[in-house]
Amino acid sequence: MSFYEKSVDVSKPFSFIYFSSYFEEIFKIKYNDSYSDTVILCIGTDRSTGDCLGPLVGHKLKDLKLKNVHIFGSLDEPVHAKNLQLYIDKLKLYANPFVIAVDACLGKVDRIGFISIKDGPLSPGAGVNKKLPSVGHISITGIVNVSGFMEIAVLQNTRLSLVMNLANVISGGLRYSLWKYFGSNTSVAADLERKMDNRVNIINSGEP
């Protein structure tokens, strides 16, 4: 059972900042120097609009150049139900990888557009009644549509704009947070941190 869970509404202002803050909070709790590598496992398929959240996040992170940080899953090479076990086996090539799992999910109508960040593994396929291996030390899910009936059809009729907004917040937040942790001595990370500090100051001052 997760002892940590936070959620972010991507329709609200500063959702990127809140996501980054929550992710960093749990990452600092869970991650330590005993891990050899960090793997972002982006699960989903580009053949379904609602289920392409993971591949979109992977696509947006594919140019992330940080030592021992790896991206599994993208629009070009999606990680889905049929090959998930293959990628889980691939994790064994690393001595002790820390896995961040990303996937789309279905939920209550008033939770559509929320991102959930949890301690513990992700159970891919649960929303469409598929039994797949659980994976991840941290799980990140984006609620793309309503659950309860005709789940596969619902995923295929999800608005792309919503999925893109979710992917932008997740990929941007992960990029910034991991740069801070693993590459904070780079000029790019320093510039990002200055911009984030300015945004946080705006929030604290109550300005629009």
Q: What is the pLDDT of residue 4?
A: 87
- Number of domains comprising the chain: 1
CA distance 2 to 8: 17
Can you give the CATH number for the domain in which 112 is found?
3.40.50.1450
Q: What is the pLDDT of residue 166?
A: 98
Percentage helix, strand, coil for the chain under 3-state DSSP, each rounded to 5: 45, 20, 35
Residue 10 has phi, psi (to 5 degrees) of -70, -10
Question: In the block, which residue shows the tokens 């982006």?
Answer: 42
Q: What is the pLDDT of residue 202?
A: 56
Which residue range is the domain that position 111 belongs to? 5-205
Contact 106, 145 (CB under 8 A): yes
Q: What is the pLDDT of residue 154?
A: 82
Q: What is the mean pLDDT of residues 79-102?
A: 94
CA distance 97 to 143: 27
Q: How confident is the model at residue 131 (pLDDT cuts 50, 70, 90)?
A: confident
Q: What is the pLDDT of residues 164-179, one digit of tens each?
A: 999 999 999 999 999 9
Q: What is the pLDDT of residues 12-69, one digit of tens each?
A: 999 999 999 999 999 999 999 999 999 999 999 999 999 999 999 999 999 998 989 9
Average pLDDT, the chain: 87
Q: What is the pLDDT of residues 140-198, one digit of tens each?
A: 999 999 887 777 788 888 999 999 999 999 999 999 999 998 886 544 455 555 555 66
CA distance 122 to 132: 10
Contact 117, 138 (CB under 8 A): yes
Q: What is the pLDDT of residue 187?
A: 47
Q: What is the pLDDT of residue 126?
A: 52
Q: Which residue did the predictor score with more confidence, 92 or 201?
A: 92
pTM of the model: 0.86
15-30 and 187-205 helices cross at what angle (nearest 10)? 120
